[in-house]
Amino acid sequence: MTLRIAHLSDMHFGGENTAAVAATFDHLVADPPDLTVITGDLTVAGAGAEFAAALAWTRNLTAAGVPLMLVPGNHDTPEMNVPLRLADPWGRWRAAFGRPDRQAYAAPGLQAVGFNTARGVQPRLNWSKGAVAQRQVRAAVDRLAQGAAGALRVAACHHPLVELLDGPMTGRVWGGPEAARRLAEARVDLVLTGHIHAPFAMPYPFGDGQTQAVGAGTLSVRERGTPASFNMIEADALEIRVGVLAWNGRALAPWMNWTFPRRQAPGG
Ligand SMILES: [Fe+2]
Ligand SMILES: [Fe+2]
């Protein structure tokens, strides 16, 4: 059995790449993956009209038979409305998409969870950076452990938990490396993230070295030296393949790819 997961991120509705977003929709609907994960920054500044556009797009996708799991990003709080941002940073998110933390999705052979690394306000100057509490990680690990033996375990959040050496920007996630270590020790297969607007895949240097950190690029016009893109991930019994489909101005075309051995059961 081959599982297929589409990994989209940083669509930034209000500043989306209209043609790339439309092509992505058509691609997903033509051959629906087992799950589509969007790892945050669905809006530019958490504005009501941006949430409405994001909600319309995601509703159309699920109506077309594409299962979806979403986590919020740092742009999904009301950036221009500081009183609201302080009082209820996730109110608009909740109204559109439900809970911003502890999302979960399960299907045969697949157990997925999402948690929120974005904060409305933080005790540091740059509120765009990430933070994760150990209780969030514990909840994610507990939920993933409910999956059947051999199920692909997928965690999703907005900020990369561990810094990329040559990434275009940083997440500086408080609690991030500890969370990555804990997820690796829990034998999570994939940790999907966004935020830096560039695709990547690499194993965490923790646990058995077989937990893959995977980043998706952006589908917005906020490109940082890379084209608009998203990831298609395939997992079978032996391998996990991460392929990037990039928008070249006319079509989606294969761009980068990585292949990792699938973690085998202990003694298996
Ligand atoms: Fe973003
Ligand atoms: Fe972000």
> Between residues 82 and 218, which one has the greater pLDDT?
218
How far does the centroid of ligand 1 lie from the alpha carbon of residue 188, in Å?
A: 25
pLDDT surpassing 80 at residue 101: yes
Q: Residue 163 sits in which domain range?
A: 3-261
Let me know if residue 67 belongs to a domain: yes
**pLDDT band, very low/low/confident/very high, at 163 (cuts 50, 70, 90):** confident
How far does the centroid of ligand 2 lie from the alpha carbon of residue 39, in Å?
A: 9
How far does the centroid of ligand 2 lie from the alpha carbon of residue 238, in Å?
A: 33
| CA 251 and chain centroid, separation | 23
**pLDDT band, very low/low/confident/very high, at 86 (cuts 50, 70, 90):** confident
Nearest-ligand number for the alpha carbon of 170 = 2
How far does the centroid of ligand 2 lie from the alpha carbon of residue 217, in Å?
A: 11
Nearest-ligand number for the alpha carbon of 128 = 2
pLDDT surpassing 60 at residue 267: no
> Phi and psi at residue 257, in whole multiples of 5°?
-155, 155
How far does the centroid of ligand 1 lie from the alpha carbon of residue 195, in Å?
A: 5
Let me know if residue 68 belongs to a domain: yes
How far does the centroid of ligand 1 lie from the alpha carbon of residue 12, in Å?
A: 7
How far does the centroid of ligand 1 lie from the alpha carbon of residue 263, in Å?
A: 31
Range scoring the smallest mean pLDDT among 49-53, 112-116, 166-170, 215-219: 166-170
Nearest to 68 by CA among 59, 77, 76: 59
Nearest-ligand number for the alpha carbon of 15 = 1
Let me know if residue 266 belongs to a domain: no
Let me know if residue 22 belongs to a domain: yes
Q: What's the burial of 193, exposed, middle or buried (CB within 10 Å: 0-12/13-18/19+)?
A: buried
- What local confidence, expressed as pLDDT, does residue 225 receive? 84
pLDDT surpassing 50 at residue 32: yes
**pLDDT band, very low/low/confident/very high, at 268 (cuts 50, 70, 90):** very low
Nearest-ligand number for the alpha carbon of 220 = 1
- What local confidence, expressed as pLDDT, does residue 120 receive? 84
Let me know if residue 142 belongs to a domain: yes
User: Per-residue pLDDT tens for 103-159?
Assistant: 999 999 999 999 999 998 887 778 888 999 999 999 999 999 999 999 999 999 999
Mean pLDDT (the chain) is 94
> Between residues 164 and 254, which one has the greater pLDDT?
254
CATH of the domain at 234: 3.60.21.10
The position carrying tokens 């109506």 is: 63
E strands, the chain, in order: 3-8, 35-39, 68-71, 103-107, 110-114, 152-156, 190-193, 200-203, 212-215, 229-235, 239-247, 252-261
Query: Which strand ranges, in their side-by-side order, compose the sheet holding 3-8?
Result: 68-71, 35-39, 3-8, 229-235, 239-247, 252-261
**Contact residues for 101 (Cβ-Cβ < 8 A; gap 6+):** 114, 115, 116, 136
Give this prediction's pTM.
0.96
Identify the three-state secondary structure at position 250. coil
Task: Give the C-alpha separation, 58 to 61, whole Å.
Answer: 5
How far does the centroid of ligand 1 lie from the alpha carbon of residue 185, in Å?
A: 29
- What local confidence, expressed as pLDDT, does residue 168 receive? 66
How far does the centroid of ligand 2 lie from the alpha carbon of residue 191, in Å?
A: 16
Let me know if residue 150 belongs to a domain: yes
**pLDDT band, very low/low/confident/very high, at 251 (cuts 50, 70, 90):** very high
Task: Give the C-alpha separation, 20 to 63, whole Å.
Answer: 20
- Structural domain count of the chain: 1
How far does the centroid of ligand 2 lie from the alpha carbon of residue 123, in Å?
A: 18
- What local confidence, expressed as pLDDT, does residue 129 receive? 87
How far does the centroid of ligand 1 lie from the alpha carbon of residue 152, in Å?
A: 27
User: Per-residue pLDDT tens for 186-220?
Assistant: 999 999 999 999 999 999 999 999 999 999 999 99
How far does the centroid of ligand 1 lie from the alpha carbon of residue 223, in Å?
A: 9
How far does the centroid of ligand 2 lie from the alpha carbon of residue 2, in Å?
A: 31
How far does the centroid of ligand 2 lie from the alpha carbon of residue 100, in Å?
A: 15
